[in-house]
Amino acid sequence: VTSAELQAAPAFGTDAQAGVGEIVVMKFGGTSVGDPERIKQVAERLVAARDRGARVVGVIAAMGQTTDQLLDLARQVSPRPDARELDMLLSVGERISCALVAMAVRDLGREAISLTGSQAGIITDTVHGQARIVEVRARRVRKALTDDYVVLVAGFQGMSEAKDITTLGKGGADTSAVALAASLGASACELYTDVDGVFSADPRVVPDARRLPSVSYDEMLDLAASGAGVLQLRSIEFARNHRVRLHVRSTLGEPGTWIVEEDESVAEAIISGVAHTTEALYRVQGPDPAELFTALANRQVSPDTIIQSGADTIVFSAPLEDRGVTAAALDALGATWSERDDLAKVSVVGAAMKGHPGIAARTFETLRGLGIEPHFISTSPIRIAFYVPEDDVERAVRGLHDTFELGATGERQDA
Ligand code: ADP
Ligand code: MG
């Protein structure tokens, strides 16, 4: 079972017919706006795009470690901060960066305006800390574009149907950008980050990981659901549902990675990448599956791997950050349960895997050769996933990356 559940396509029309010409949405991550110098460079990039003729929307993340610092501050005041107030606090980070970018754009001679998520019409549900965008009312953004402003929107935040400030969860600025691009009928959504694109594995773990020139929405969904944290999962669901072409790239001007329809991507490789993530694993006895997963869903916990193990035992995994609520849900059900956090999940992902029977064999031979024992193996047509002891995860990822010759120096495994 994969957590890449379909996000219902929110019913907002694109009003591209308003006639302001080509619109580009450019999102900048925390590193790209990490200090005053970089903020000025972001402004230059936005102005350059405007000078080339496009109308420009910049979606800006909080500077560097700002969000973590705010979170830390909250925890020093309150051990379990109230969710509404936490969102109020965290939304400040993007207001800062977004206003600073607007100032820098003005200094370069272009009109600019910064907008909070709510001013930009990002309407969400009421789930604080993990809100989902349900609608984008982009009238104000569109008007500002028509009036020749470069529009800066605070990423990662919106306003709920109850008119409270919400945040969209880790990586939420990606989804802000894609939702705006969809709503504005933008020609592309460019996501600037600290790596040159989507790689065959996390470049911090596998130094010779190879940049993928293009990936299909489905492959990217599986990579992201498997731990490739370069894009928020929901942003890809959104892009696929609204046919927004994504371009992940660095500010260094490298070619980056296009995330597009399968027939547009050059997916000639059997395996596109190896991803890994840490999750908590629960072994539960007592409640039946319907009861158990309803209780988790009611608390917004989204389980990933689910395995029936014996007559009355279910094993499932869930995000580490949801440990508190997961425990509360299991206790409320009166379940007998235990938790493990010493395993990490490794996934081998590739759209062409389904037609190639040897992939599983080579995967498990590689692990045997490394002396690593896989647990809780699961598959989809384009993914093989399993758990290994946390201490072995980097060795497993590098070993599989070598086996499938995914490295920049190796030959690619072509179909
Ligand atoms: P931003 O702040 O720009 O949103 P993130 O930290 O969210 O950036 O995402 C970029 C990071 O994602 C990279 O620094 C990299 O370590 C990590 N990452 C994990 N898997 C991959 C992958 N397959 N390809 C590229 N980056 C990856
Ligand atoms: Mg991110």
Phi-psi map region of 69: left, alpha, beta (phi>0 left; psi -120 to 50 alpha): alpha
The rounded Å distance from CA 29 to ligand 2 centre is: 6
Query: What's the 230 CA to ligand 2 centre distance in angstroms?
Result: 6
Up-side HSE of residue 4: CA atoms within 13 Å toward CB?
Answer: 25
Measured in Å, residue 31 CA sits from the centre of ligand 2 at 10
The alpha carbon of 279 and the centre of ligand 2 are apart by a number of angstroms equal to 18
**Contact residues of ligand 1, CB 6 A cut-off:** 29-31, 61, 171, 193-195, 198-199, 201-204, 228-230, 273
Q: Which is more confident, 38 or 4?
A: 38
Q: At what angle do helices 83-90 and 92-107 cross, to 10 degrees?
A: 20
Atom in ligand 1 nearest the alpha carbon of residue 31: 2
The pTM for the full model equals 0.89
For the beta carbon of residue 282, count every other beta carbon within 10 angstroms. Answer: 22
Q: Please write the tens of the pLDDT for every residue from 17-69.
A: 445 789 999 999 999 999 999 999 999 999 999 999 999 999 999 999 999 99
Report whether pLDDT(327) > 90: yes
CA-nearest residue for atom 21, ligand 1, is: 202
Task: Tell me the best of 194, 226, 236 to mutate to test the pocket of ligand 1, counting ligand atoms within 8 Å of each CB and taking the most.
Answer: 194
Q: What percent of the chain has pLDDT over 90?
A: 78
DSSP for residue 55: E
Name the pairing type of β-strands 150-154 and 375-380: unpaired
Q: Whose CA is nearest to atom 6 of ligand 1?
A: 230
Across the range 330-358, mean pLDDT stands at: 90
| Beta strand segments in 6-54, E | 23-28
- Of all protein residues, whose CA lies closest to atom 25 belonging to ligand 1? 198
Residue nearest to atom 4 of ligand 1 (CA): 29
- Give me the pLDDT at residue 67, please: 95
| Average pLDDT over all residues of the chain | 90
Residue at token pair 């590739």:
350
Q: What is the pLDDT of residue 13?
A: 45
Span 72-130, pLDDT tens digits = 999 999 998 999 999 999 999 999 999 999 999 999 999 999 999 999 999 999 999 99
For ligand 1, the distance from its centroid to the CA atom of residue 196, given in whole angstroms, is 9
What pLDDT does 19 receive? Answer: 58
Instruction: Report pLDDT for 268.
Output: 60
Q: Which residues have C-beta within 8 Å of that of residue 242, sequence separation ≥ 6?
A: 9, 178, 182
Residue 268 φ/ψ, nearest 5 degrees: -85, -10
